[in-house]
A and B are shown apart, each in its own frame.
Chain A
Amino acid sequence: MSARPTEGNPLRAFASQVWGSIFRHGLPTTDKVAARTALTNFFLHIHPVRVKKSAIRVSYTLCLGGLSFFLFILLTISGLFLMFYYIPSVDQAYQNIKDLQFVATFGLVIRNLHRWAAHGMVITVWLHMARVFYQGAYKPPREFNWAIGTFLLLITLLLSFSGYLLPWDQLAVWAITVGTNMAKYAPIAGPYTRYLLLGGRNVGQGALIRFYVLHVVALPLIGFILMVIHFWRVRKDGFTGGL
């Protein structure tokens, strides 16, 4: 790529130097260039350079793991925007959501996007689990990745559940009341667990700030770390490919 005739035009030479310093290789003209491009690009090196042809048929993975990850990224970005407006206080939270809906530019669409992507992610993660099971992709050597996947499923549910409380409307508070009442039934730890989760006996300010911190910091962080390990293992254990 460096052999491009740029002499005589200092501007093009400069542009070419800048471009070349960022992207080490040009568009893939041969397999070898394509392989180098994938190896030297941070965002692409998550992939192996080559994969079995049968493994990337859309009909094989149905894109479900990838879509789950995509939704996670989308949720992170849209959630970041929501955070600019949202204050986790029982006095302000509801009004903040109203403002998002009616005042903030694109606030409504961003909120909707965040909500529907969250529901979508619960569905894609479930379906991804089902496809992994039906293809027996949990069998050795991938036993451990299946276990990590189980925790990812739980994290996904908890992320969605903790976010449910934040709008502080009737739907939110009572869904969380019903949900956390389930925790109460565990023999000894139950009531304590519920108290710990809610920071009190009822769903109030204590619960709101706890759910908020779980939702925007703790759970996404744990989820992200688990995903990184998950992807690493997909590569190291090899991808299953056709049956």
Chain B
Amino acid sequence: MATVVGGGGSGNAGGADDQSSVPIRQPVIARPPRPRRTGPELASTPLVVRRREEEETVVTFPSLVWKEFLAGLGAFIFLLVVSIQVNAPLLQRANTAITPNPAKAPWYFLGLQELLERFPPVMAGVAFPSFVIIFMILTPYLDRNPSRRPQDRKVAIALFTIYLCLAVSFVVIGVFFRGLAFNWDWTRILGHPGVKPPV
């Protein structure tokens, strides 16, 4: 896809005028000239790689690698700080005779548990998830709209946003608003009316 057109790095004296006199190095679509960096190593024409789209490209090393390094470092420091401050939960040793109340699945499955509260098990536990997974895999084949611009994809974006909102709210409900026996319970978050929350 990318074609190498420029030479450079060889230290020839041609330098800057090279660009204008040799037709092959002319971009197809005129672009504002890049600001020339100066310095001994950059005196010659830099290696130029052009994509068909004639979009400006940059070398991945070091610019992208550097960004990735910073992102990774940031994430690591963040997690390290969290891990020093907050301990992962560890309750009593497992006891199959004592069922905790409420018994909850891990948070990312609480959406499913919420569905199970509301629909017959075959629907909630099997039909819905299978449908979501299959529909997801098929999405690129079903969506025949070739445009990637948000203005042209209102329906797709609306549908996906509804799906995301539903999924997130079910998880939020499961985590924060389901109390004993997985019953709805405002007081977990809001406290009891008239009673000061224990601090």
Chain A residues with CB under 8 Å of chain B are 28-35, 37-38, 41, 44, 47-54, 56, 58, 63, 66-67, 70-71, 74, 90, 94, 97-98, 101, 108-109, 111-117, 119-120, 122, 130, 133-140, 142-143, 146-147, 150, 154, 157, 160-161, 164, 167-175, 177-179, 182-187, 190, 202-204, 238, 240-243
Interface size on B, residues (CB 8 A): 79
A183 to B65 Cα, complex, angstroms: 43
Q: Chain A binding site: helix, strand, loop or mixed by DSSP?
A: helix
B13 within 8 A of A: no
Q: Cα distance A174–B96 when bound, in Å?
A: 8
- Which residue of B61, B71, B105, B107 is within 8 Å of A44 (Cβ)? B61
Beta-carbon nearest neighbor of A43 in chain B: B65
From B8, B55, B104, A30 is in contact (CB under 8 Å) with: B8
Shortest Cβ distance from B103 into chain A, in angstroms?
A: 5
Is there contact, CB below 8 Å, between A56 and B84?
Answer: no
Does B86 lie at the interface of the complex (its beta carbon under 8 Å from any beta carbon of A)? yes
Chain B 92-136, CB-CB to A under 8 Å as 1, else 0, gives: 111110111001111111001100100001101110000001001
Contact with A along B62-92 (1 / 0, CB 8 A): 1111011001100110011011101111111
Q: Would you list 23 pairs from A and B whose C-beta atoms are within 8 A, ordered by A residue? A: A28-B59, A31-B46, A32-B8, A32-B9, A37-B61, A41-B61, A53-B58, A63-B68, A67-B72, A74-B79, A101-B87, A112-B82, A112-B84, A130-B160, A138-B143, A146-B140, A171-B89, A172-B94, A175-B105, A182-B105, A183-B125, A185-B122, A241-B55
